[in-house]
């Protein structure tokens, strides 16, 4: 029979490539169809699949031994290979049926015994669950911490609230997994909600840092990060802990105004600087985060703060909108860095200007305008029209 004829003759089965077969490979589909066939015939049994290195199998377990031959005949249709003991080779037995309704390399039918039989009869009783030992619980807890798995940490943490050494180790292992980009930062929140001091230094990450700084780094990876930051702050995390920058600087780098607002609401210092003198406004400008620049300026960020290289945030501007915002907030376009360059004059070692031409032109125009205003005589030194006419008259009479 052709594929179309098989499908028409077996409407109770699912064909490969049909909508109902979506997400099922040939093995899973074969097992599903076989279950449907056995159920239709009233056979009480179970169908299992197994995958291994050299193939896969569909194994059927039935209650009634009298149905063995009948079930074997049905199951055999889903087998697409056979073993030849004489030549020690596997023979291909692919048929139109296996190509239409699924298949396995091997199939078997057995009478269910022991627990398998009890499960089919509904009389199976699972043995009492063995409670893990204290050592096993600690191992599972710390393994969850090492992997940064919040659910595992939450499951076992009640056993360690009064064990500071274990809590400290879990705290650092979670932090290490987060720093590697694999762990779930919410695992730290679980520890904090169960008594861990959120200001406990994280020593397994170099350089030493705080949980708040760690979780504000690369916030794009988690939509739940603002809630975690709030949890840490609610439990006393210091928003001004500094380790070559603060949590606010990290939020500024990421452009996450949600977290920045939480930190600022808890008195985060908007002008705190890192070891090179960069503040949050430098970071936001450097990363071209316009909304963050506006927020920081509105909260009092100093647009003329200078780094150890003598550069203000204006030196980092990458678009005219941010440059205009900084200038409107009082950024001085005439400030020079340690090389004697203003923001619009700065160049790379190759000689190319560091900022886009339109931004450089905007800043240059404001700088030259300021320069012209600075060299203009005081208003009191300018003669009024009557004085000009009097001077001209005196000149003609001489």
Which range among 244-248, 283-287, 316-320, 382-386 shows the weakest confidence by mean pLDDT? 382-386
The pLDDT of residue 394: 57
CA distance linking residue 125 with residue 107, whole number of Å: 29
Report yes or no: 72 and 34 within 8 Å, Cβ to Cβ. Answer: no
CA distance linking residue 247 with residue 227, whole number of Å: 15
Q: Write the CA distances from 90 to 10, 53, 80, 82, 83, integer angstroms.
A: 29, 15, 10, 6, 4
Classify burial at 239, counting beta carbons within 10 Å of its beta carbon; exposed 0-12, middle 13-18, buried 19 or more.
Answer: buried
Q: Tell me: pLDDT of 260 over 90.
A: yes
Q: Tell me: pLDDT of 101 over 70.
A: yes
CA distance linking residue 281 with residue 271, whole number of Å: 8
pLDDT digits (tens, 9 = 90+) for 359-376: 999 999 999 988 887 766
Here the tokens at position 384 are 């009024």
Handedness of CA 93, 98, 102, 107 (dihedral sign): negative
Here the tokens at position 390 are 């009097």
Question: pLDDT category, 92, cuts 50, 70, 90?
Answer: confident
Which residue is associated with the tokens 């204006």? 314
pLDDT digits (tens, 9 = 90+) for 124-153: 898 888 899 999 999 999 999 999 999 999
DSSP, collapsed to helix, strand or coil, labels residue 238 as coil
Q: What is the CA radius of gyration of the chain?
A: 37
Report yes or no: 57 and 33 within 8 Å, Cβ to Cβ. Answer: no
CA distance linking residue 292 with residue 316, whole number of Å: 14
Q: Tell me: pLDDT of 250 over 50.
A: yes
CA distance linking residue 124 with residue 114, whole number of Å: 9
What is the percentage of the chain residues whose pLDDT exceeds 70?
92
The pLDDT of residue 379: 54
Q: Tell me: pLDDT of 258 over 70.
A: yes
The pLDDT of residue 39: 94
Classify burial at 79, counting beta carbons within 10 Å of its beta carbon; exposed 0-12, middle 13-18, buried 19 or more.
Answer: buried
The pLDDT of residue 282: 97
Alpha-helix residue ranges (DSSP H) falling in 148-224: 150-156, 164-179, 186-193, 211-215
Residue among 384, 287, 368, 291 at smallest CA distance from 333: 368
* pTM of the full structure: 0.63
DSSP, collapsed to helix, strand or coil, labels residue 377 as coil
> Please, which residues have CB within 8 angstroms of residue 184's CB and are 6 or more apart in sequence?
148, 149, 150, 178, 222
Q: Tell me: pLDDT of 398 over 50.
A: no
Residue among 227, 231, 234, 229 at smallest CA distance from 246: 229
CA dihedral 147, 148, 153, 157 (to 10 degrees): 100
pLDDT digits (tens, 9 = 90+) for 175-188: 999 888 888 999 99
Report yes or no: 14 and 101 within 8 Å, Cβ to Cβ. Answer: yes
């Amino acid at each position: 029979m052709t594929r179309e004829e098989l499908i028409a003759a077996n409407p109770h089965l699912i064909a490969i490539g049909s909508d109902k077969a979506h997400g099922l490979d040939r093995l899973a589909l074969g097992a599903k169809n076989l279950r449907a066939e056995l159920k239709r015939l009233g056979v009480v049994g179970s169908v299992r699949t197994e995958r291994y290195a050299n193939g896969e199998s569909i194994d059927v377990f039935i209650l009634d031994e009298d149905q063995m031959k009948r079930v074997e005949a049905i199951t055999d249709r889903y087998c697409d290979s056979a073993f030849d003991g004489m030549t020690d080779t596997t023979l291909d037995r692919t048929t139109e049926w296996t190509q239409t309704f699924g298949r396995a390399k091997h199939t078997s039918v057995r009478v269910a015994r022991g627990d398998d039989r009890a499960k089919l009869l509904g009389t199976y009783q699972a043995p009492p669950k063995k409670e893990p030992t204290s050592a096993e619980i600690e191992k599972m807890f710390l393994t969850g911490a090492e992997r940064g798995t919040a659910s595992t940490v939450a499951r076992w943490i009640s056993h360690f609230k009064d064990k500071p050494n274990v809590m400290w180790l879990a705290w650092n292992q979670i932090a290490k997994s987060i720093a590697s980009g694999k762990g779930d930062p919410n695992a730290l929140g679980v520890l904090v909600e169960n008594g861990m001091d959120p200001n406990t230094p994280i020593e397994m990450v170099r350089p030493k840092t705080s949980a708040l700084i760690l979780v504000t780094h690369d916030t794009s990876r988690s939509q739940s990060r603002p809630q975690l930051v709030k949890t840490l702050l609610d439990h006393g995390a210091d928003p001004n802990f500094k380790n070559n920058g603060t949590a606010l600087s990290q939020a500024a780098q990421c452009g996450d105004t949600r977290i920045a607002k939480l930190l600022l609401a808890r008195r985060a210092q908007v002008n705190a600087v890192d070891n090179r003198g960069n503040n949050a406004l430098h970071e936001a400008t450097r990363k071209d985060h316009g909304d963050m620049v506006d927020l920081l300026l509105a909260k009092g960020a100093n647009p003329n703060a200078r780094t150890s290289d003598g550069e203000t945030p204006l030196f980092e501007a990458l678009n005219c909108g941010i440059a205009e915002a900084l200038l409107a907030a009082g950024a001085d376009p005439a400030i020079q860095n340690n090389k004697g360059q203003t923001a619009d004059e700065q160049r790379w070692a190759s000689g190319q200007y560091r900022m886009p031409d339109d931004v450089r032109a905007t800043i240059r125009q404001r700088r030259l305008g300021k320069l012209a205003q600075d060299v203009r005589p005081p208003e009191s030194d300018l003669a009024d029209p009557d004085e000009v006419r009097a001077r001209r008259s005196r000149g003609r009479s001489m």
